[in-house]
């Protein structure tokens, strides 16, 4: 067991090659997409809305299609079933999400400069936790909106959860929910960090094998 920890600690101090460092730099640059592009898009179709109601979810705001009019229409419909308005003030995530993503980007750059497997592993774990927590937070918000309906609403519906991914029929609405450009950029950023981590770990294993023989 002692020998295992010695080898593991030695690997954590192994230097990164040039291309894993470049992967970290590119990964940090990709995170900037969340400040300019939406993370998620939801589109709702109904007979009275044949062209659909669009809602883009940014890291800091909600933006309705048709110059913001679609968000007003969505909130009007939500009022009839007793759902709270979709408002920026309701989403605490908008207060911390841009800040945390910026910190992760800086940690990527820091790991690129420090240039050790240990620093790369640290930012990988931070990013993994952040990604899982963000998905949980988004899902919980959707669940909360659909399960806290006012009992005095003029239209009674069963509690529901809007879709996180894909399609769902809600009353006479067809709702589609998919990641948008910023989410794909974040996913590619995570992929680059993962590839850099796996490749560097394999290289250190080969180095250990060569040294042992």
Neighbours of 148 (CB within 10 A): 11
Please give the Cα distance from 14 to 33 (Å, whole number): 31
Does 3 map to a domain?
Answer: no
Residue 114 in domain: yes
Could you report the per-residue pLDDT of 168-192, keeping only the tens digit for each?
887 778 889 999 999 999 999 999 9
pLDDT computed for residue 6 by the predictor? 57
Q: What is the pLDDT of residue 2?
A: 54
**Tens of pLDDT, residues 42-91:** 999 988 888 889 999 999 999 998 888 989 988 888 888 888 888 888 88
Q: Which residues pair with 54 in a beta bridge?
A: 43
How many whole angstroms from its chain centre is CA 14? 30
Cα separations in angstroms, 175 against 6, 31, 41: 54, 28, 11
pTM: 0.85
The pLDDT tens digits of the residues spanning 112-125 come to 999 888 888 899 99
State the total domains in the chain. 1
Q: Is residue 208 part of a domain?
A: no
Please, are residues 38 and 50 in contact by the beta-carbon 8 Å criterion? no
Please indicate, yes or no, if residue 4 is contained in any of the structural domains.
no
Residue 7 within a domain: no
Q: Which domain holds residue 52?
A: 17-202
Asked whether residue 2 is assigned to any structural domain, the reply reads no
Cα–Cα distance for residue pair 157/176, rounded to 1 Å? 19
Whether residue 179 lies inside any domain: the answer is: yes
Residue 37 within a domain: yes
Q: What is the pLDDT of residue 210?
A: 60
């Amino acid at each position: 067991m002692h020998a295992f920890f010695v080898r593991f600690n030695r690997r954590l101090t192994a230097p990164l090659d040039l291309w894993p460092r470049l992967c970290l730099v590119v990964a940090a640059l990709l995170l900037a997409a969340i400040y300019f592009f939406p993370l998620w898009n939801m589109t709702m179709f109904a007979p009275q809305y044949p062209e659909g109601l669009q809602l883009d979810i940014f890291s800091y705001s909600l933006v309705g299609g048709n110059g913001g009019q679609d968000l007003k229409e969505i909130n009007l419909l939500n009022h009839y079933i007793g759902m709270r308005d979709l408002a920026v003030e309701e989403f605490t995530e908008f207060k911390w999400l841009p800040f945390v993503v910026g910190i992760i980007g800086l940690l990527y750059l820091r790991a690129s400069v420090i240039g050790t497997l240990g620093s790369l592993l640290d930012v990988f774990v931070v990013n993994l936790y952040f990604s899982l927590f963000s998905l949980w937070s988004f899902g919980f918000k959707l669940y909360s909106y659909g399960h806290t309906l006012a009992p005095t609403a003029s239209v009674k519906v069963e509690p529901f959860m809007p879709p996180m991914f894909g399609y769902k029929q809600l009353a006479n609405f067809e709702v589609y929910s998919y990641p948008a450009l910023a989410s794909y950029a974040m996913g590619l950023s995570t992929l680059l960090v993962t590839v850099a981590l796996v490749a560097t770990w394999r290289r250190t294993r080969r180095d250990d094998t060569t040294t042992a023989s």
